[in-house]
Structure 1
Amino acid sequence: MENSTPPSIRYNTKKVANRARGKRPIDPNKVKAVWDNAKHEVFIRICLDEMRLGNKPGQTLNKAGYENLERRFELETKIHYQKDQFKNHWDTTRKEWQTWKALKSQTGLGFNEVTGTYNMPREWWIEFSKGHPGVKKFQTQPLYFEEELDILFGAAAARGEDSYAPTSSSSARGKRSFG
């Protein structure tokens, strides 16, 4: 059967359907966000700077904070991520931090100083993961940048306290430093 639509009028029906449901069409120039430790460190450092500048009035950055994050991240990494990619990473990082804090609050855990992880039986991990779905990754690795994330998401951040310094260092176990 011959297509009766002239080539100049053809369109991607998926994009049109998404637009009809209120979703944005796929941006062909959008780079898939890949968060290795180096990019994650840049992200956290910039977010801490934005918090210090007053661009985190609540639980997340404000419009100016995200604009600065987008601009500075591209300057430092030569990769352009968009606001929604940063927001998704913010949300994921916060959930991981909350899960790590819940894990650390458990009593009777066997902590391995060398790996920065907890040595618990398989059954314990299965049971704990029922209430904390993202905990599995912490069986094999610690939460990196814990002290910085405590500042970004913790009680000090909620009170507006600022104890972050760009050269602050963390101990080697499960933490990285920005110095």
Structure 2
Amino acid sequence: MRTDMTDKRTRVSWKSELVDKTFLEACIQELTSNGREGRVLKASSWALVAEKLKTDHNFVVDKKQMKNRYDYLKAKYEMWLKLKNKTGNIYNPVTNSFNMTNEKWEAEAKDIMNVFELLKKDFITPHKQFINVFMRFYMQ
């Protein structure tokens, strides 16, 4: 248990698409250069990714925050991909939306946890970088 208040982790906001893009590109670079430990980047790679975020965006995060963000992006990507690939669900890349009735959304919500995340206006279609990262991390 932490007793020193100065040791408390600062909450960060990952609202910038540029920060996410830099984060994923740095992950790809580290994965390509240094490989991975199990399912994640090596500890030294996480440090380099953090340095890249700090240098490029003055965005300061620790390993746990980066890992949490990675897990969140991965889950969101998997949810989007599952829904996109389902028969009968029509995805429109121009509007970045799924053309489904409320009843169909409710039915999907039973199968796909947090599917309503995909209805948010600020939901960003997974970048090519997402696909590259997830393919490299999980398909090797």
TM-score (ref. length: structure 1): 0.67
- Partner AA of 1:153 in structure 2: F
- Partner AA of 2:95 in structure 1: T
Q: Which residue pairs with 2:42 in the alignment? A: 62
- The 4+ residue runs of structure 1 with deviation greater than 6 A are none
The CA distance in 1 between the partners of 2:101 and 2:139, in whole Å, is: 38
Q: Structure 1 residues 63 and 113, CA, compared in 2 at 3 Å: closer, same or farther? A: closer
Q: Structure 1 residues 88 and 27, CA, compared in 2 at 3 Å: closer, same or farther? A: farther
Q: Which runs of 5+ in 1 are unaligned?
A: 1-18, 161-179
Q: Structure 1 residues 84 and 120, CA, compared in 2 at 3 Å: closer, same or farther? A: same
Q: Which residue pairs with 2:30 in the alignment? A: 50
Task: Summarize deviations over 1:8-62 as a string: whole Å, max 9, x none.
Answer: xxxxxxxxxxx1xxxx455556432111212111111111111111332432212
Instruction: Tell me how far 1:152 sits from its aligned partner.
Output: 0.9
Q: Which residue pairs with 2:10 in the alignment? A: 31
The CA distance in 1 between the partners of 2:6 and 2:130, in whole Å, is: 31
Q: Indicate conservation of the 8 Å contact 2:77/2:126, yes or no.
A: no
Q: Which residue pairs with 1:115 in the alignment? A: 95
The CA distance in 2 between the partners of 1:130 and 1:90, in whole Å, is: 25
The CA distance in 2 between the partners of 1:143 and 1:113, in whole Å, is: 8
Largest Rg, 1 or 2: 1
Q: Number of residues paired by the alignment?
A: 136
Q: Which residue pairs with 2:79 in the alignment? A: 99
The CA distance in 2 between the partners of 1:133 and 1:45, in whole Å, is: 27
The CA distance in 2 between the partners of 1:84 and 1:135, in whole Å, is: 25
Q: Does 1:150 align with 2:128?
A: no
The CA distance in 2 between the partners of 1:123 and 1:56, in whole Å, is: 42
Q: Secondary structure at the match of 1:133?
A: coil
- Partner AA of 1:33 in structure 2: V
Q: Indicate conservation of the 8 Å contact 2:50/2:61, yes or no.
A: yes
The CA distance in 2 between the partners of 1:47 and 1:151, in whole Å, is: 10
The CA distance in 1 between the partners of 2:71 and 2:7, in whole Å, is: 24
TM-score (ref. length: structure 2): 0.83
- Partner AA of 2:126 in structure 1: Y
Q: Which has the higher helix share?
A: 2
Q: Secondary structure at the match of 1:79?
A: coil
- Partner AA of 2:39 in structure 1: Q
Instruction: Indicate the structure whose relative CO is greater, using CA pairs within 8 Å and at least 6 residues apart.
Output: 2
Q: CA RMSD in A?
A: 2.1
